[in-house]
Structure 1
Amino acid sequence: MLAETVCSAVAAAGLGIAAVTAYRKRFLTATRIAAYALVPAGLVLTGAVAWVAGTAFSPSAWAGFGVLGLAWVLFMTTRTIERRRGTRKERAAAAPEAVTGSARPAVGGSTGAGKAAQAPAAGKKQSGGDDDFSDIEAILKKHGI
């Protein structure tokens, strides 16, 4: 009897804290606090103390399972929203770096990358010289490659 009273008081206090947090416009945090607060209430309603006596035929037990399910749905909803927001922020932060990284030409000094880039250009020049590679050849000559 005392355990159920304590769990109910903790649940009520947690829901009060969630209400104050929601009033401060921190809805995701308030939802998470409400989910944590509903867990003790769900455990009380399931009759964890008298589990064997009548769980299968007790309407309050099924209501407790429903409350636990609601708490789980709230947890998963907040996690999904946070993941989506985090992904968009990461994409927005990474987008300028990706554009600047791919737009920069790879210039090889002593690494041998310059020779590898020069070989296909030289091969095209020998096979008749396409106009498509004339710009690339001009850039390579400009950089001394």
Structure 2
Amino acid sequence: MSTQMPFEGLLLGAALTVVGLIVSWVVWRRRGASAGLRAVAWSLLPLAFGLIGLMELLASLVGQLVRFFVGLVLDPLAWAGVAVAGLAAVLWTTGRLLRRRGSGASGAAAEQKAAPGRPDAPAVGGAPSRKPQAPAGADDDFAEIEALLRKRGIT
């Protein structure tokens, strides 16, 4: 690490502090001492960064971010990466929505775990089931299904 003080960062920090102090004065006049003092505090940060030596780091970071986003706009391979990341986000969100609704494998597994010895026991997250009133001709159609449900202890 160099022992020389980087004057470019210090000059940039000082210039930004002067601009910030001018804005702070305007804020003090319009909004009062409380807002003005907070603005002065924010205005002193660039000078502190310049004195510490962080201004070069921040300038480098900003330059790298600008190059990254310019490269992102112009690179089709980068757009493919953005599309894949978007697809991953959509799939993750869809999975969360399905989980909330109780559908999917976890919902079916929860229904199968209902206590077979207790016919009135609700499935996980469900209410005790009541037998719905079926139309007169529907008894024959549902007899097989009711037998299967009784066998599993669901009704």
TM-score interval for Structure 1 and Structure 2 normalised by the shorter chain: 0.3 to 0.5
* Structure number having the greater helix percentage: 1
Structure 2 length as normaliser, TM-score?
0.31
